[in-house]
Structure 1
Amino acid sequence: MTATEITTGDREARFSEFWKHRLESNIRVRQHIMRDWRLTLQAIGDLLSLQRLELNVSSSSGGLMIEQSLRRSVFGVFTLAQTGACVLSVPKVSGEYSLGASKQTLRRKSRSAEKSGIACRVINDEIEQINLIGQLDSALVSKADLRYRNSHADHRFLVGVGLWSVAYGQNGEPLVIAVVPREGTWALLRLFISLGQTPQHSDARYLLTQFVVERLSHEGVQHLVDTVGPSELTAGLQHFQRMLGFRIARVKFIHDARPWSIKNAGKILKVIYRAIAYNNRPGFAEIAGSIAHDAAVTKS
């Protein structure tokens, strides 16, 4: 692929692959960054070329949750908003979300869920939300996957927050719970957890995703952002997210005058310097020049 053929979408996909390779190699993030300085420099160039979405939040509970999530530290240096968050573009017409070849699995799994009697509904009653929290926290204690097991979970702080949606089985048992705080045209996927590991729970995840996105579309939401960044996802979750339409984007807070300040630029150069020093190889000027050229072409 030549520089003139590189599009923003290509660079986003390549940046996603950069983190996918880290997941497949099962090494620490810092080791992955320092492992191959050429790929790291290329990834930095791809990061800087990513679409930058604008966000203006208020002091509402939903706004504060979204801002807190995007401003949290990643790698102890940057914020999630700066290093790229996983964002799903919510269509203006709700029915358009499940269309297209890329959503074939979503449609198939959703149909399977509906055939088995699974149905989704919004939960506004706080007493019912409290009961669901109890079932959720109990389920996390016995999660089969140790990465998600949590014997000290307490999600009561989410009661009364945002859009509560639940996928129920034919017998009325909750299968998957989603909690999505909202602020204007933005929403945060604060919680999306299955209460079991059966094929029925798997199908319910797809059906509930479609239900939530279509509901957000009706309410005028344009962007649904995850709390977990691309460098933090498991391989399975990364595949699941991209299949559902999540893509990596930077986020600019409108009230931030200089989201990428000189201080942040210095941090980037420090990462580059460490990557080169780690490999002890020349060639920075050539690679950096190529990155600058690609970025200029992408934004022209």
Structure 2
Amino acid sequence: MRPAFSSESEERVSRYFERFVDRSGSQLRHVLTHPRNTVALLRTIRALPAVEVRLPGGPQADAIRAQLGRAWLRRGALAGATSVLGLPERAEDYARGSSGSRYTLRKRSRAASELGVLVERVDDAEARRALCAVADAYERVNPRAASRNEAADNSDMMTHRFWFVARVDGRPVVLAVLPAEGEWAAMRYFRTLEESEVATLARYLLMREIVTALVAHGVRAVVVGLGPHRMGNGVRQFQRMMGFRIVRLRVVRASPREVRRGTLLAAAVRPRWSARRS
């Protein structure tokens, strides 16, 4: 299933990076052997909606900034192109609708529940450390080479605000971790912890629970720290099905007055994505 795009520009950008990550050679070789497509990409990115991420000070906001500032190529040549999920005012609206992606979300969430998947919020420090150890250990031996990291160390996540785990028969199968400040959150971690059908299905139920919790806490948008040029196509398609859209982000520090008034969220990531263009 290939969910609809929010615009022709977004579809062109996504298609380019689908081919980019499937390349046989290096990044530079792909760019040099497809100069017209690359120039067209850079022009098309400028047609994407432009969104300002207005964040106050504090450790959670700093963690979001760190996620968005990690990929220098995205910040520069790709003009801040990033996947963002705009959350509804009511959590129950997230899975509603007749589109194929909404139907798939409901169907696969239900299938996960029938297989015994349970999603829980994790706030206890000791429980977080145990899950972090499981995640690190699995990354080091991940059967998918592209997801393997023999030096995995996710200890920086310990103080992030939101931790969610999907379990089956008590064992963790998917872990999600997000720092959050005001109306913004960042998807720092969202990975399966085993190679199985139940873990794949659990992602859908987990995503619904994440949205429910974030909406209840006043979060209105979730950003992804990974640049589109580094994102695997399986992850890209899953995010699009979950409602993430590619926009151009620019991180700015919010003024004390904006923090007091709660006006940190740009109109572009509200329900209809009616972003300004520049």
Q: TM-score, normalised by structure 2?
A: 0.83
Match of 1:129 in 2: 128
Question: Cα RMSD between the aligned structures?
Answer: 2.3
- Equivalent residues in 2 for 1:80-229, closer than 5 Å: 82-100=79-97, 101=99, 102-169=101-168, 171-229=169-227
- C-alpha contact 2:85 2:243 (8 A) present in aligned 1: yes
The verdict on how the C-alpha distance between 1:186 and 1:77 changes in structure 2, with shifts beyond 3 A counting, is closer
Q: Secondary structure at the match of 2:104?
A: helix
Instruction: Tell me the equivalent position of 1:275.
Output: none
- In the TM superposition, what are the counterparts of 1:4-23 in structure 2 within 5 Å? 9-23=7-21
CA shift for structure 1 position 11: 0.9
Query: CA 1:116–1:70 in structure 2 vs 1: closer, same or farther (change >3 Å)?
Result: same
Q: Which has the larger displacement, 18-27 or 49-58?
A: 18-27
Aligned to 2:30: 32
> Which amino acid is the alignment partner of residue 85 of structure 1?
T
| Stretches of structure 1 lacking an aligned partner (at least 5 in a row) | 1-6, 257-297
Match of 1:288 in 2: none
1:57-109 CA-to-partner distances (Å, cap 9, x unmatched) read: 233221111112212343387177x3301111111111111122122222111
Distance in structure 2 (CA, Å) of the matches to 1:230 and 1:76 = 8
- Is the helix fraction higher in 1 or 2? 1
Distance 1:21 1:85 in 2: 17
Equivalent residue for 1:286?
none
Shift of 1:42: 2.3
| One of 56, 70, 73 as aligned partner of 1:72 | 70
Q: Where does residue 268 of structure 2 map in the other structure?
A: none
Contact 1:179 1:190 in 2 (8 A): yes
In 1: Cα distance, 2:192 partner to 2:61 partner: 25
> Equivalent residue for 1:233?
231
TM-score (norm. length: structure 1): 0.77
Alpha-carbon spacing, 1:76–1:189, altered in 2? closer, same or farther (3 Å)? closer
Residue 147 of structure 2 aligns to a residue whose secondary structure is coil
Q: Deviations over 1:111-154 (max 9, x none)?
A: 11000111111111111111111222222232111222233222
Q: Which has the larger radius of gyration?
A: 1
Indicate the percent of aligned positions where both proteins have the same amino acid: 28
Q: Which runs of 5+ in 2 are unaligned?
A: 255-275
Judge conservation of contact 1:118–1:204 (CA < 8 Å) in 2: yes
- Contact map agreement 1:47 1:83 (CA 8 A) in 2: no
Superposed displacement of residue 299, structure 1: 5.1
Cα 1:44–1:8 change in 2 (3 A) is farther
**Residues 29 and 231 in structure 1, CA contact (< 8 A), matched pair in contact too:** no
Counterpart selection for 2:50 from 52, 67, 73: 52
Structure 2 counterpart of 1:246: 244
The number of residue pairs the alignment matches comes to 251
Aligned-residue offset at 1:45: 2.0
Alpha-carbon distance change, 245 to 190 in structure 1, aligned in 2, over 3 angstroms:
same
Q: Shift of the alpha carbon at 1:216?
A: 1.1
Q: What's the counterpart of residue 290 of structure 1?
A: none
